[in-house]
Amino acid sequence: MVRALLQPQPWRLVLLQLTGAFANSLVGPGAVGSYQGGGGGRRFGGFARVTDPPVGFFLGGSSIRDMNGLYSREHRVPNGFSHTFTFSYRHDYTGWRLCLVGAPEDVKRSSGRQTEWVLIDPDRADRFRHDGDQLIPGSGHRWSHVHRTKSAQPDPKAGSAVAHAMEDDEEELPWQLVGVGEEDMLRRLKRYFTFYKHEVQAAIDGQKLPKLPVGGKGTATSPPEGFQAPKAALPGEEDGTDTCLEGSASLENAEAELQGPKLKSDHWSVAMLQLRRAICYRRRREFQLANDAVDASLVLYPRYAAAIEELGKLQVDQGLYERAIHSFETLLRVDRKRPFVGDWLVRVHGHKRRQETEFLTEKPEVLQGRTPGCIAWRQTGGCSPTGLLEPSADKPCNAVIAKGNSGFCQCATSGARGKSGTAPATAAESDCEHESFTCAAKCAERQQAESGHGPKLTDAAAQLAAEVSNAVDVQPCTLLRGGELPEWCQPNHYLVLGIRCDFPDEHGDELKRAYKKRSLQYHPDKLGGSAQAFQRVADSHQVLLDPEKRRAFDEGADFPRKVQHDGAEGETHKEEIEKKYFPERFDFAPFGDPHSDRREAKARQQRLLETKRQEALAREAKEAKEAKPDRRTDL
């Protein structure tokens, strides 16, 4: 049966947070985020009293993903239920229902309420309940699991209509519930959801990914089932030894098998052996040979997933992040279920982001303007050639350096090289008062002077050149190396240590050897070494040595999160990249993060507990001090 529409009564009038633009359309008490026109953080408007039932609801935040989504009001009594319905809202796609129904007798006796809200699954079983006698239910812990039969009677095994079982998972609760007050807004939300579904399907179909590779011996992504692979292509489990140096799958054995006459028509064996060669050469950091080997494998089978993955790792180890992203996107297009492909995309985008924000790159016009003897004009501040570098004002070699610019020319061959003898060569060291010139001409003059075919530098000019070179010498992580910076300057810890990006955590010998090699190379007592480089190597080792620190670095946990409109933190780097490539892993969230209020409440609780703990410690210390006898009194 259906009850008549509830008449407005004081217990049905609730205060609701509203958004400015849709103050009459969206309502919801409890841990509820306000509408944002398709996504984003929360915005808050005024308050209103609600006397009419919503036309629909949005539910989010439950780990039962089929329960999340839009619910529209039903105007007919649902069939096959024993409930006494007041209102019923049905999920637009999955068959879940959110209903205000008559409460069981024991609930009426215990709570004094005549109605309750229930969430009913597609099998018509009550799964969650919320106190009734209100038009808009709350969210989160205001709901509880129920254990009832489909006839809405207590489950004998549960003991009561509402059982607080220890195994109930609070992640299943609806952590966001928003009432939609107008049909127009409900239609808008449905359009947003349609767009979300379109974006998900486009990602699954790979519409924004590289085209599928073609050619070779076919479209297979892996050897056929039951294929007997050559022993040299199967390294087995690593036990800390370098399987590329010894064992059946050593590089030597792989190359020997490739020379066998039987392999001419065995294309998969050749592809697998070439892949093994690529893996071993990459481990030895012989990148050109590794690239040739993986290319030979992909020529045979362009969609060979393991070879595409190896190509991506090879490009990461070389710091070629744009190419690596393309390779891993191709792998995603070839095999969307490939293990860890999402993790690799997160990592490579993180490396690219660090390089763009922390690592200087030469301006294209400056790079293209190099000449055989000149690299660039390097601008400095303060009208002093030893002032702070201003890379944004650097100029190509043939650009005219007019009066008013301070700096120096960086030459390719001749010029002062500082105390270390390895600093970039400089010329035309100038303050702001000088005649116009080009660095191409000045570097040529300096080369003639050093070769004895031109006028020698005056003592004052030679002194200034030495001062500039020494100033440059202490700034190794700048473009003054001609755009080729030392590896230890890189923001990528793997490149700093010269170790492959996929070295296993469980075997520390590889990391230990790489650290020892780099420490010796950049020791302050060695040529080209410095205390700065030595410390950077030590810092990178500490990060990669600790599995948790390494995981955080790989996931980009060090990147600051964007701040939303309401001051809440936005997505992590990992969430941002995963949402780009795997939107199907994320629910439709038109009102922002459904767990934001929950996290804030937990943070407040933790702060409160910490405050209480500190107060308790202070009281204990005070009591201990007061209880301690005064020695002067005893005397």
Q: Of 163, 192, 221, which closes a domain? A: 192
**Domain membership flag for residue 598:** no
pLDDT given at position 602: 78
**Domain membership flag for residue 549:** yes
> Cα separation of 46 and 20, whole Å?
7
Average pLDDT of span 213-221: 94
Tell me the pLDDT band of 492, cut-offs 50, 70 and 90.
Answer: very high
Domain containing 514 — which CATH number? 1.10.287.110
Half-sphere exposure of 32 (CA within 13 A, CB side): 25
User: Whole-model pTM?
Assistant: 0.74
Average pLDDT of span 213-224: 94
**Domain membership flag for residue 306:** yes
Counting the structural domains of the chain, the total is 4
Tell me the pLDDT band of 450, cut-offs 50, 70 and 90.
Answer: confident
| Domain co-membership, 59 together with 106 | yes
**Domain membership flag for residue 290:** yes
Torsion, Cα 318 323 325 330, to 10 degrees, reads -120
Q: Supply the range of the domain harboring residue 545.
A: 487-554
| Domain co-membership, 457 together with 318 | no
Nearest C-alpha neighbor of 556 from the set 359, 360, 349: 349
| Domain co-membership, 353 together with 370 | no
**Domain membership flag for residue 368:** yes
| Domain co-membership, 41 together with 159 | yes
Encode pLDDT of 556-581 as tens digits: 999 988 876 666 677 899 999 999 99
| Domain co-membership, 335 together with 454 | no
Average pLDDT of span 497-525: 90
Residue 62: Cβ-neighbour burial (10 angstroms; 0-12, 13-18, 19+): buried
Q: Of 481, 506, 533, which closes a domain? A: 481
Domain containing 321 — which CATH number? 1.25.40.10
End-to-end CA separation in angstroms for the chain: 89
| Domain co-membership, 476 together with 417 | yes
Q: Backbone phi, then psi, for 472, in 5-degree steps? A: -70, -35
Yes or no: say if 149 and 124 are a contact pair by the CB < 8 Å rule: no
pLDDT given at position 448: 86
> Cα separation of 500 and 312, whole Å?
12
| Domain co-membership, 160 together with 30 | yes
| Domain co-membership, 140 together with 187 | yes
Q: Of 501, 536, 554, which closes a domain? A: 554
| Domain co-membership, 305 together with 267 | yes
For the ranges 4-18, 485-499, 528-542, 582-596, the lowest mean pLDDT is seen at: 4-18
**Domain membership flag for residue 226:** no
**Domain membership flag for residue 536:** yes
| Domain co-membership, 467 together with 394 | yes
> Cα separation of 35 and 554, whole Å?
34
Which percentage of the chain shows pLDDT scores above 90?
52
Average pLDDT of span 259-276: 88
| Domain co-membership, 280 together with 135 | no
| Domain co-membership, 332 together with 466 | no
